[in-house]
């Protein structure tokens, strides 16, 4: 499959009455990209997907497909594959009939339909289930059917609306691996909506973060996590420690920061713990308030003299012996790991 | 107290009531059918061989089948507008479904008589506009009976259909449309099969209701297209032959029971295909 397409969104706006669902969204989704639309519920990510699919018309702005105008082309003519939240399988058809439906719509010959259905059943690991109805399948299997049906016609773009939201955690991990493999095998452009940060970081080539109908940041996973564009992105993607910087000092101690003033942000994984005052390097004195053993990692809560709460994630194996709440410690970080918000 | 026992206690009064008002009288009818005028199955033989009874049974089945098909098809359209129409359409349909329930079946039958009789409103209009010269005979025949019955039964078919339509996930329809399916294909291959249980339920309600119709056929059929309920009435009250009336009642009951069983098996998920 090499029909992957490029989608352009240009100043897309969408309002429902007086409610602004999307405001001024512009982006180019590259051929064969795996783009995730991430945001809390009500942030506009699903609305944007619906605009891309053609099920919702934008109030303003326009869309292009490989440079060609596509804004007014209805969903049924776009030829995109779509996986809906809750799968939206045809309950009265077998797995094979579900997958065959889009092929029959395109008037493929019976032999072509059969060959393609067999190939999709094989690719999504549904062998032996082709003659079952969706109600007889597990959540993960239904997910595969939805994926097979959406990919049956070799769509240039596959849109996925929270496809894993109904699966339990272990199955999610499995399906994520599978999704990456299928993306690699098909080469199709994937646009994937989720509210799960770790899912977005694990799957995508780029993440688009939405909040209140606006695009907050569009960048590769590592960049949005380690160099968030603003405080919302920083806090939405996981725990973050914020230390106010005044004249190049933190808690009265001179440290190396990217700038002389602002809020210094450091991810919990990048903060170290020391029982003695490190003479050189960035550090703040703090009191240990709580420890949570999580197996491979331990989550440590600290409080600085001025009352700022800090969170650290440290490998359990590296922790000093005898840490108890109340202990005086130093939280340390490499200068390159701190950024100002 | 274990759950099944408690459930039985809760539903007990209803079961007792049904036993008293339905089962006991029906057992009485059953007894009549094999004891009057003398013990034996003579009345059943008569019911199944008497040309009059057979023609009435046949007419009843035919009218009920026609009424069921018409009512379910029309109710499907009404339900579709009720469930998926604009707010104004929904309100209008809701009123059209609910208002008939406030009007007695007798009033409605006479209303149709006023509309459809030879000197009725419709014929008056047809002749005034010159579309016909002679009045069309629309009552005192099967046509009138079917019109009256369909009108009465549509609302009863709308409810099971609407509930089946409401349970169709909008996203399934979107999925079909997104794959390029035309509206006609989405309807025939996705929406209609997904509301199949509602269609079967509606057909069941209408058919069983129609079998026992008495007032509407009596008035709009004018004694010329007698249906089985009227025949039973005549056998019990006019030409006293209680045994035969009872035997026909039992046969009717068996027919309804058999049909219910067959259709319920069809309606069960995964049944049929």
More confident residue, B162 or B263: B162
Look at A55 and B174 and tell me if their CB atoms are within 8 Å. Answer: yes
User: What backbone phi and psi angles, to 5 degrees, belong to B215?
Assistant: -65, -50
DSSP label of A285: E
Share of chain B above pLDDT 70, in %: 97
Higher pLDDT, A3 or A186: A186
Bridge partners (DSSP) of residue A250 are A253
pLDDT surpasses 70 at B224: yes
Residue B12 pLDDT exceeds 50: yes
Contact A115, B219 (CB under 8 A): no
Q: Which residues of A touch B176 (CB under 8 A)?
A: 90, 101
Q: Which residues contact A209 (CB under 8 A, 6 or more apart)?
A: A38, A39, A215, A216, A217, A218, A224, A232, A233, A236, A237
B185 pLDDT more than 90: yes
Structure token pair of residue A65: 């497909």
User: Cβ(A49)–Cβ(B150) under 8 Å?
Assistant: no
User: How confident is the model at residue B258, as a pLDDT?
Assistant: 86
The residues, any chain, with a CB within 8 Å of residue A258's CB and separated by 6 or more, are A338, A339, A340
Q: Over the stretch A262-273, which tens digit does the pLDDT of each residue have?
A: 889 999 999 998
Local confidence band at B168 (pLDDT 50, 70, 90 cut-offs): very high
Q: Report d(CA A235, CA A265) in Å as an integer.
A: 10
Helix ranges restricted to H, chain A: 45-53, 75-78, 95-105, 110-123, 139-151, 169-186, 197-203, 221-226, 231-236
Number of cross-chain residue pairs from A and B with Cβ atoms under 8 Å apart: 60
| CA–CA distance, A309 with A304 (Å, rounded to integer) | 7
Locate the chain A residue with the closest alpha carbon to B171: A88
Q: CA neighbours within 13 Å on the CB side: how many for A125?
A: 12
d(CA A319, CA B76): 70
Which pLDDT belongs to residue B268? 64
Q: Find the mean pLDDT for residues A296-321.
A: 89
Q: Give mean pLDDT, residues B12-34.
A: 90
Q: Which of A76, A85, A106 sits opposite B177 (nearest CB)?
A: A76
C-alpha–C-alpha distance, residues B177 and B191, integer Å: 11
What 8-state DSSP symbol labels residue A266? Answer: E
Q: Which backbone phi and psi does B241 adopt, to 5 degrees?
A: -140, 70
- What's the distance, CA A11 to chain centroid? 22
Burial class (CB in 10 A: 0-12, 13-18, 19+), A209: buried
How far is the alpha carbon of A26 from chain B, nearest alpha carbon, in Å? 24
And the tokens for A253?
Answer: 């101690």
* B181: nearest CA partner in chain A: A105
Cross-chain residue pair B169–A101, CB shorter than 8 Å:
no
> What percentage of chain B carries pLDDT values higher than 90?
37
Nearest CA in chain B to A147: B175
Please tell me if residue A76 touches chain B, with a CB cutoff of 8 Å.
yes
Contact of A99 with chain B, judged by CB distance below 8 Å, is answered with: no
Whether the per-residue pLDDT at B253 is higher than 80: the answer is yes
Distance from C-alpha of A105 to C-alpha of A149, rounded to nearest angstrom:
12
Among residues B185, B84, B171, B272, which one has the least CA distance to residue A82?
A: B171
pTM value is 0.80
Distance separating alpha carbons of residues A149 and B10, to the nearest angstrom: 48
Min Cα separation A92/chain B (Å): 7
3-state secondary structure of A192: strand
Cβ atoms of B176 and B168 closer than 8 Å: no
**A54 contacts in B (CB within 8 Å)?**
178
Q: Stretch A117-137: mean pLDDT, rounded? A: 91
Integer Cα distance of A229 and A214 in angstroms:
13
Q: Where are the alpha helices (DSSP H) in B85-141?
A: 87-98, 105-116, 121-128
> The tokens of B88 are what?
């104004």
Which value, to the nearest 10 degrees, does the dihedral of the CA atoms of residues A233, A236, A237, A239 take? 120
Provide, as residue numbers in chain A, all residues whose Cβ is less than 8 Å from the Cβ of B185.
105
pLDDT value of residue B226: 83
> Is 70 exceeded by the pLDDT of residue B267?
no
CB A43 within 8 Å of CB A23: no
With CA atoms as reference, report the closest residue to B71 among B163, B265, B201, B220: B201
| Least-confidence region, from A250-254, B176-180, B205-209, B247-251 | A250-254
As a whole number of angstroms, the distance between CA A146 and CA A85 comes to: 10
CA A180/CA B6 separation, integer angstroms: 53
The CATH number of B52-240 is 1.10.3720.10
How far from the centroid of its chain's Cα atoms is residue A274's Cα?
A: 34
Q: How far is B75 from chain A (nearest CA, A)?
A: 22
Interchain proximity B181–A105, CB inside 8 Å: yes
Say yes or no: A181 contacts chain B, CB-CB below 8 A.
Answer: no
Chain B contact for A133 (CB, 8 A cutoff): yes
* Contact at CB, A101 and B196, closer than 8 angstroms: no
By mean pLDDT, which of A313-317, B109-113, B256-260 is the weakest?
B256-260
Share of chain A above pLDDT 70, in %: 99
Compare CB distances from B180 to A53, A79, A89 and report the shortest one's residue: A79
pLDDT of B1 reads 63
* CB-facing half-sphere around the CA of B90: CA atoms within 13 A: 6
Cα separation, B175 vs A84, in Å, equals 7
Task: Judge: A105–B172 Cβ closer than 8 Å, yes or no.
Answer: no
Res. A95 pLDDT band, cuts 50 70 90: very high
CA distance A149 to chain B (A): 9
Is A76–B181 a contact, with Cβ atoms under 8 angstroms apart?
A: yes
Distances (CA, A) of A184 to A1, A84, A178, A206, B146: 10, 21, 10, 15, 63
Contact residues of B toward A, CB < 8 A: 169, 171-172, 174-182, 185, 189-190, 193-194, 196, 269-270
| Average pLDDT of span B145-159 | 92
Q: Which residue has the tokens 């039973």?
A: B232
Choose, out of B169, B171, B172, B178, the residue to mutate when testing the contact with A (most A CBs < 10 Å).
B178
CB-nearest partner of B171 from A75, A86, A102: A86
ipTM of model? 0.79
> Residue B244 — φ and ψ, nearest 5°?
-65, -45
Partner-chain residue, chosen from B169, B171, B193, that has the shortest CB–CB distance to A92: B193
Residue B118 has a pLDDT of 85
What average pLDDT does chain B have? 88
Q: What is the pLDDT of residue A1?
A: 45
Q: Tell me the domain boundaries of chain B.
A: 52-240
Which among B240, B178, B163 has a CA at the least distance from the CA of A55? B178
Compute CA distances A339 → A56, A134, A220, A282, A314, whole Å: 39, 49, 17, 13, 20
Distance (Å, whole) CA A220 – CA A85:
25
């Amino acid at each position: 499959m090499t029909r992957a397409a490029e989608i352009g969104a240009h100043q897309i706006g969408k309002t429902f009455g007086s409610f602004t669902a999307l405001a001024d969204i512009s982006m180019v989704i590259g051929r064969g990209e795996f783009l995730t639309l991430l945001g809390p519920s009500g942030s506009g990510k699903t609305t944007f997907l619906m605009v891309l699919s053609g099920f919702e018309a934008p109030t303003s702005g326009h869309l292009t497909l490989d440079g060609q105008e596509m804004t007014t082309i209805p969903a049924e003519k776009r030829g995109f594959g779509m996986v809906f939240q809750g799968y939206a399988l045809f309950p009265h058809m077998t797995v094979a009939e579900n997958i065959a439906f889009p092929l029959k719509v395109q008037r493929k010959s019976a032999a072509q339909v059969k060959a393609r259905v067999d190939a999709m059943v094989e690719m999504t690991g549904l062998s032996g289930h082709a003659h079952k109805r969706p109600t007889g399948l597990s959540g993960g299997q239904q997910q595969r059917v939805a994926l097979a049906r959406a990919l049956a016609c070799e769509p240039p773009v596959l849109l996925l609306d929270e496809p894993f939201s109904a699966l339990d955690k272990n199955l999610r991990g499995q399906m994520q691996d599978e999704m990456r493999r299928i993306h690699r095998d098909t080469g199709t452009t994937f646009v994937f909506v989720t509210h799960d940060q770790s899912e977005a970081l694990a799957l995508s080539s780029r993440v688009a973060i939405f909040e209140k109908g606006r695009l907050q940041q569009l960048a590769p996973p590592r960049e949005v996590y380690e160099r968030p564009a603003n405080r919302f992105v920083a806090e939405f993607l996981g725990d973050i420690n914020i230390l106010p910087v005044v004249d190049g000092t933190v808690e009265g101690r001179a440290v190396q920061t990217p700038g002389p003033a602002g809020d210094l942000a450091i991810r919990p994984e990048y903060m170290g713990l020391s029982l003695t005052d490190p003479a050189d390097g960035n550090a703040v004195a703090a009191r240990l308030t709580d420890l949570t053993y999580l197996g491979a990692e331990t989550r440590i809560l600290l409080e600085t003299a001025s009352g700022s709460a800090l969170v650290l994630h440290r490998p359990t194996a590296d922790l000093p012996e005898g840490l108890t709440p109340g202990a005086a410690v130093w939280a340390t970080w490499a200068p390159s790991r701190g950024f100002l918000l | 107290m274990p759950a099944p026992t408690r459930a039985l206690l809760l539903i007990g009064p209803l079961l007792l009531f049904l036993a008293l008002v339905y089962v006991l009288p029906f057992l009485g009818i059953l007894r009549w059918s094999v004891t009057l005028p003398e013990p034996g199955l003579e009345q059943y033989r008569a019911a199944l061989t008497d040309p009059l009874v057979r023609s009435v049974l046949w007419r009843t089945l035919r009218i009920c089948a026609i009424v069921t098909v018409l009512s379910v098809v029309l109710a499907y359209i009404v339900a579709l507008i009720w469930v998926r129409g604009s707010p104004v359409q929904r309100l209008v349909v809701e009123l059209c479904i609910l208002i008939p329930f406030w009007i007695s079946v007798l009033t409605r039958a006479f209303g149709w008589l006023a509309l459809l009789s030879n000197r009725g409103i419709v014929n008056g209009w047809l002749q005034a506009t010159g579309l016909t010269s002679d009045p069309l005979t629309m009552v005192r025949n099967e046509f009138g009976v079917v019109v009256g019955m369909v009108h009465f039964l549509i609302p009863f078919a709308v409810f099971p259909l609407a509930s089946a339509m409401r349970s169709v996930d909008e996203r399934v329809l979107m999925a079909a449309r997104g794959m390029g399916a035309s509206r006609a294909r989405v309807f025939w291959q996705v929406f209609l099969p997904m509301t199949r249980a509602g269609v079967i339920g509606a057909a069941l309600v209408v058919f069983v209701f129609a079998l026992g119709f008495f007032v509407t056929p009596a008035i709009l059929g004018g004694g010329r297209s007698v249906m089985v309920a009227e025949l039973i009435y005549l056998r019990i009250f006019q030409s006293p032959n209680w045994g035969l009336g009872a035997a026909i009642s039992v046969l009717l009951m068996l027919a309804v029971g058999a049909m219910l069983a067959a259709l319920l098996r069809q309606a069960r998920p995964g049944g049929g295909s």
